[in-house]
Amino acid sequence: MALYRNGRFVSLHGTYDERFRGVSGIVRLPDGDLWLHGADGLYRIAAADVGRWLKDGTAVPFERFNAQDGMRGHAPQLRPVPSLRRDRDGLLWYATTGSVGSIDPARIPRNRLAPPVEIVGVSAEGLRHAIPAGGSLALPQGTRNVQFDFTALSLSIPERVRLRYRLTGFERQWQEPVGRRQAYYTNLAPGRYRFEVTAANEDGLWNSGGAALEIVILPTFVQSVWFKLLLAALTLLLLYGSTRHGSAI
Q: Residue 71 and residue 100: Cα distance in Å, rounded?
A: 9
Confidence of residue 129 (pLDDT cuts 50, 70, 90): very high
User: pLDDT by residue (tens digit) across 190-246?
Assistant: 999 999 999 999 999 999 999 999 999 988 645 556 556 666 766 777 775 666 655
Give this prediction's pTM: 0.74
- 35 pLDDT band (50/70/90 cuts)? very high
* Residue 119 phi, psi (nearest 5): -90, 120
Q: Report yes or no: 119 and 213 within 8 Å, Cβ to Cβ.
A: yes
Residues 6+ apart with CB under 8 A from 151: 117, 118, 120, 181
